Structure 1
């Protein structure tokens, strides 16, 4: 799945890349922030957590109440990834994603926190894409 900020200058990709022993899912993550790019490939989710992430994103995007949602957070057994977000009236979802131990062109790692505002249909599509990519992985 890929979510692009409504301004088009930032994006986050989270792609299930492989299943590991013990129901772990290797996630390839890429954060692009106006030309600066960080990458991570880590078994940071379980299959259940990946499905929960997709459901959480869809829930944010598909809420049809008139009022803004309260911020909610989502964490996992691995501390490499965490998210928070809420829906803004008018069709936008605001997300904050924290990814730890990301690599850039230089040596070493860094922790990256990125904020995105994306249209609700784009977040719904991202949730569906994440599920499809997860289901496409060999068992």
Structure 2
């Protein structure tokens, strides 16, 4: 699943890569690009249910089922590596804030990254569908 800013310079990609040994958690490969810098993270940071909740949350914001326009809503998970907040802007756009902790850049160490994106509602619905398809494709 890729979330791209409508300006095209920032993106967040969250891709289910594998099941953790117990089969309950999903290893997520996260890539953040702000146009100049790039960060990555590979971590078992979601359960299968949480990944499906994320897809439903994204589609819900886009389809205006989670909150009224201009009302911020957020989604957190048991593992704290990922959290999201967002709201629908009248006119067909959704504004998101995506926080990813312990991301790696080119050098040593890790950093916490918060990315703001604005995307058309239909792009979020498509991203939610992509996430579900990627989850279903895991071996």
TM-score normalised by length of structure 2: 0.95
Alignment gaps of 5+ in structure 1: none
Deviations 1:101-133 (A, max 9, x none): 000001100000000000001110000000000
Aligned to 2:49: 48
C-alpha distance in 1 between matches for 2:132 and 2:87: 21
Q: What is the CA RMSD across the aligned residues, in angstroms? A: 1.1
The whole-number CA distance in structure 1 between the counterparts of 2:2 and 2:23 is 26
Aligned position for 1:60: 61
Aligned residues: 136
1:14-43 deviation line (CA, Å, top 9, x unaligned): 000000115000000000001200000000
Taking the aligned partners of 1:70 and 1:58, their CA distance within structure 2 comes to 15
* Residue of structure 2 equivalent to 1:105: 106
- 3-state SS of paired residue (1:130): helix
User: Match for residue 73 of structure 2?
Assistant: 72
- Deviating beyond 3 angstroms after TM superposition, the runs of 4 or more aligned structure 1 residues are none
Confirm whether residue 5 of structure 1 aligns to residue 2 of structure 2.
Answer: no
* Partner Cα separation in structure 2 for residue 117 and residue 46 of structure 1: 26
Please report how far the alpha carbon of residue 63 of structure 1 lies from its aligned counterpart in structure 2 after TM superposition: 1.7
TM-score (norm 1): 0.95
Gaps of 5+ in 2: none
1:30 and 2:31 equivalent? yes
- Matched residue, 1:133: 134
